[in-house]
């Protein structure tokens, strides 16, 4: 009886061990989460501003800290892009000529609030 249990255990171990080794050696594809581009920040900010205009003055004042944080994140992203050497052509690919103009204006705004 003990011998049968031992044989069953060894057989199970022989069947499971190769599978476990195979799974452990198989590389899982690493998914690189892409950081939002400046265009994504700008679209979200514009949507927030449009939604904000539909709210009461009190509500708008209450949401100002969140709006300020979103602006600072977009400014930080713009500064990071510039440090990495992102050119206006990349912004043009993201959102067209109108977006390039918006980026240039926003860049001046970021310099003022710094």
Considering only the C-alpha atoms of the chain, give the largest distance between any 2 of them, rounded to a whole number of Å.
84
Alpha-carbon gap, residue 42 to 99, rounded angstroms: 9
pTM: 0.60
pLDDT of the chain along its 114 residues, tens only? 555 544 544 444 344 544 444 444 444 444 555 667 888 878 888 888 888 889 899 988 888 898 888 889 889 999 999 999 999 999 999 889 999 999 999 999 999 987
């Amino acid at each position: 009886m003990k011998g049968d249990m031992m044989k069953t255990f060894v057989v199970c171990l022989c069947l499971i061990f190769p599978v476990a080794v195979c799974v452990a050696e198989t590389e899982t594809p690493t998914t690189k989460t892409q950081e939002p581009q400046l265009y994504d920040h700008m679209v979200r900010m514009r949507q927030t501003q449009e939604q904000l205009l539909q709210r009461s003055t009190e509500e708008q004042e209450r949401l100002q800290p969140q709006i300020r944080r979103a602006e600072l994140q977009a400014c930080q992203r713009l500064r990071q892009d510039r440090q990495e050497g992102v050119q206006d052509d990349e912004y043009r690919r993201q959102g067209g000529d109108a977006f390039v103009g918006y980026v240039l204006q926003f860049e001046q705004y970021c310099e003022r609030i710094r």
